[in-house]
Amino acid sequence: MKITFYGHACLSLETGGKTILVDPFISGNPNAAHLDINSFKADYILLTHAHQDHILDAEAIAKNTGATIVSNYEIASHYGAKGIAYHPMNHGGSWKFDFGTVKYVNALHTSSFPDGSYGGQPGGFVIEADKNVYIAGDTALTMDMKLIPMRTALDLAVLPIGSNFTMDVEDAVIAADFLACNRILGYHYDTFGYIEIDHAAAKNTFAKAGKELLLLDIAQSIDV
């Protein structure tokens, strides 16, 4: 599985011959201003919740690519009403797609569309494909994370680390323990003044706990 970071909470996963784009917030991110959303490929677009910094470019990219939007019932239906292919889910439910299995899991946050309308309850995704990855979405540290390794042995966990709106670095270390996963990809940091972090200190905090924190440059990729 190849994972590419496109800034903030936007990721691309390439697995099973498919491209899965997660939370595309690109055109509104000053750190990703050099990226052209018309160049993005996607077979599926996974949306953790309805906040603008996670859905801004979902409609445009879905229409450009014909991608299927996967999210909670309210978000998926919102895009379905626009003529976009969609697959609705809800917490605890799983579905076997042509690239692997996706489970929609709890996140402790809020969710509303930019106009203030209801965006359902926020969530994260556990993806079981050629590798197993947990994408937490925007969330506080929660005991529900302990449930994930009871069903899935993770190869990588993607966790928010910017604090203020989500958990911070120290809580992310605890989350890694809950998840029984020592390889963590950090996201949801540095985009705005509220969530700027000290990269070296963050990596050192993880290293002291015997864990690895990956902080990627925009458009940088890793193989899981």
Q: Where are the alpha helices (DSSP H) in 12-162?
A: 52-55, 58-65, 73-80, 148-151
Report d(CA 32, CA 6) in Å as an integer. 7
How many structural domains is the chain composed of? 1
User: What are the backbone angles phi and psi of residue 77, rounded to the nearest 5°?
Assistant: -65, -35
Give the whole-number percent of the chain exceeding pLDDT 90: 100
Q: What is the pLDDT of residues 77-128, one digit of tens each?
A: 999 999 999 999 999 999 999 999 999 999 999 999 999 999 999 999 999 9
CATH code: domain of residue 6: 3.60.15.10
* Torsional sign, CA 44, 220, 201, 133: positive
Q: What is the pLDDT of residues 164-220, one digit of tens each?
A: 999 999 999 999 999 999 999 999 999 999 999 999 999 999 999 999 999 999 999
The two tokens of residue 161 are: 């680390």
Provide the domain limits for residue 194: 2-223
